[in-house]
Amino acid sequence: MARKTKKVEGVIEEAEVKAGKAVKAAPSTVKKATDKAAAGVKRTAKAASDTVKKAAQMAADSAPKKVVPKENEPEVETVKQNPHIFTDLDQYLFGHATHYELYKKLGAHIDKVDGKNGVWFSVWAPNAVAVYVIGEFNGWNEDANPMQKLNEIGVYETFIEGAAVGDLYKYLIIARDGSKLYKADPYANWAEKRPGNASRIADISYKWADGTWMRNRKNFVPVDSAVSIYECHLGSWMKHPYSDENPEGFYNYREFAKAIVDYVKDMGYTHVELIGVAEHPLDQSWGYQVTGYYAPTSRYGSPQDFKYLIDYLHKNKIGIILDWVPAHFPKDAQGLANFDGDALYEHSDPRQGEHQEWGTKIFNYGRPEVKNFLIANALYWIEEFHIDGLRVDAVASMLYLNYARKDGEWIPNKFGGNQNLEAIEFFKHLNSLILGRNPGTMMIAEESTAWPKITGDVEEDGLGFTFKWNMGWMHDFLEYMKLDPYFRKFNHNKMTFAMTYAYSENYILVLSHDEVVHLKCSMLSKMPGLEDDKFENLKAGYSFMMGHPGKKLLFMGQDIGQYREWSEEREIDWFLLEDKRNANLQAYVRDLQKLYRKEKALYANDRGYDGFQWVNANDADRSIFSFIRWSPTGKGNLLFVVNFTPIERSDYMVGAPKSGNYKLLLDSRSEKYGGNHVAKETYKAYAGECDGQPFHIDYELPAYGVAVFRFN
């Protein structure tokens, strides 16, 4: 196709843009992208730098030279090159895992060629003998639209006149053994609603109105800010009454936007984390077995509807985090498995390429094109959809070659170890790039082992995540909370042990969906005692969690005292709020959340020992914990006292570091939350040693009582 004449400098500039702003963002090559040049990814960074230089040179060498017209002879301009054609430069970048906006090339894109409207299709299938596009626009005729293979990298492309937004399509791939494979588009932006599994042509253009949020996000420092996450499954948070028109009762993205904003603003959470957004065939997988990595699930509307949801959250000053699954993918016939008749996205050897326990395939992180698929996908959600963070699922399964495998079922790395060196390099590249290009965003690791430096600097051989889920704290906390209060004194260290490693990573304290399914019981049902005791236990537990260093996450339903385990088939039991105990619990969690956001002492010093101090960590016989959260300003410090037994301590004294008045900010047993405890607004600290402190406060501590005092 003819090209429009351009200056060489202009082509070089265009090459840099098409490389995904690689000059700005290649890991550790440009300081503006990130000030963390990773020792562990020096080779990756050098390769990225060389790629950019070579790409620019390739663009310069191949650029048509501007013809200088003779005197009085008009300059002739040819037709502008189609931006969707997969050029030699695109192939080069793709082959080096540095085509960061690959999704703008591969997939299905609205186009006009020679004045005719249609769609440009591109797919990577290097092992195929032939590839065809079949769909509603050609009556699913298998021979109507063959694709042209470009070269050895194996990208096929074609333009189809008359194909339009909303049309369903698939790729028909002829494998080397002659078999026919009917595959969904790995880069499709929209998909057919299950049980159908075709791709759908999409227009994802959108006029954003969240400019203020996006500008402010650049200055947001998550590790030093209040981050309180409401984890939510969109399809089961709230449902419409069932009808013939909407048999599942789903809220669409736009309806959900308004409902969730009202709730989250009222409760005081800072972020919503959505599970199960990328397209997936089975509801029961909750979205963790993905077949459409670039497609928001069609269960709730179109990609533009999903953008509306994000836009609406941002306009209401609420961030959004998505669960992201680069660890594995399902074997569904239309998906990535054996995509072109051979192992393409996965390893061919099942010892490397399959999770036997999960029945899924594992991505081949050593293959540049596969790594590029995932890196571009992360950027797609962050930059195209304005997502504020990705929670990366099952990180441990990626880091360990022997994860959930017996001896003989896995292949050691080249040094004989069990570390997946290719996955390590992938994470360093990914996190440096995402956080370098998008300051203020978050990369969160769901990692359940003691792998070091998950949130460490890449330049110090860390993986570069912003946060790590604190699974150890969660496990110990739940084991303690399940105990009859009598036995808690023998397990006191379960609540104190996490402070021995609290600053080894940047942590999020999580009580997630995984803890309230599969016969694990809801949070309320885990609590010991009679009904009233269960509610008071939960208040005490949430209070301890809010005071403990680390950001916070609660799964939906936990803040209202859900009795039943979560099920994706039904909505949260909102009717429970008609019971005063549930309503009082919700009111208490609401005030905890607002206290967290208001008081800097609870979040601004999460990364160092100067932000937390035990007052008494050893009161095991009474199962009482007392500690201080120090404010970075020296003012607005908080003293927590939490009683985990049903025994009132009318003569209780707690140590205080300073003299003066201590204002009672929160009393879990006050009438406001259904209790009958009458307390003063202010308590004076008297001289006299207590708990190793020079002063003390006399306070009538109720059964299961929580008291939070503020002092300067």
Tokens at residue 560, please? 């209202």
Instruction: Give me the sign of the Cα torsion angle 292, 298, 302, 307.
Output: negative
What Rg do the C-alpha atoms of the chain give, in angstroms?
28
Dist CA 577 CA 581 (whole Å): 8
Residue 484 annotated among the catalytic residues of the structure: no
DSSP 242: P
274, containing H or E segment: strand 271-275
- What the block records as the tokens of 575 is 């009717």
What is the sign, positive or negative, of the torsion defined by CA atoms of 508, 514, 517, 520? Answer: negative
**d(C-alpha 166, C-alpha 200), whole Å:** 6
446 catalytic residue (yes or no): yes
Which residue out of 210, 388, 393, 515 is catalytically annotated? Answer: 393
Contacts of 73 (CB under 8 A, 6+ apart): none
| Dihedral over Cα of 143, 146, 152, 154: its sign | negative
Give CA–CA dist 241/3, Å, rounded. 56
φ/ψ of 485, rounded to 5, equals -50, -30
Cβ of 93: how many Cβ atoms within 10 Å? 29
* 274 beta partners: 232, 322
* Cα separation values, 101 from 13, 84, 413, Å: 15, 12, 31
Which residue among 157, 185, 369, 446 is the active-site one? 446
Give the whole-angstrom CA distance, residue 332 versus residue 290: 10
- Give the separation between CA 131 and CA 502, rounded to whole angstroms: 53
Beta bridge partners of 616: 626
Catalytic residue numbers?
393, 446
